[in-house]
Amino acid sequence: MANLFSETEGTTIEHFMILHKIEKVKELIMYNDLNLSEIAWKLHYSSVAHLSHQFKKVTGLTPSFFRKLKNKKRKSINDV
């Protein structure tokens, strides 16, 4: 089954799951006010360090830097 998945999707099941988990982390960073500890717990990471390492490996950014980018792009309600 794993071979069929890899042939169809062009990636392993593990990598596919990691990518989807990181997308969920991005979503939680962008749209919720959860801190990294809460996000790590919610998505069953063993630690914030593990989440941060995996996030940086996939995106090239740290979760903290990603959050700062989000805050720069976010407009005040008065600016809308």
Is 25:55 a contact under the CB 8 Å cutoff?
Answer: yes
Q: What is the pLDDT of residue 32?
A: 84
Flag whether the pTM goes above 0.85. no
Q: What is the pLDDT of residue 25?
A: 96
As for how many domains the chain has, the answer is 1
Task: Report the C-alpha gap between 57 and 45 in whole angstroms.
Answer: 15
Task: Give residue 40's domain range.
Answer: 6-72
Quick check: is 79 in a domain? no
Quick check: is 77 in a domain? no
Q: Which has the closest alpha carbon to 50: 41, 66, 35, 78?
A: 41
Q: What is the pLDDT of residues 23-65, one digit of tens each?
A: 999 999 988 889 999 999 999 999 999 999 999 999 999 999 9
For 65, the token pair is: 């830097």
Domain of 68, CATH number, reads 1.10.10.60
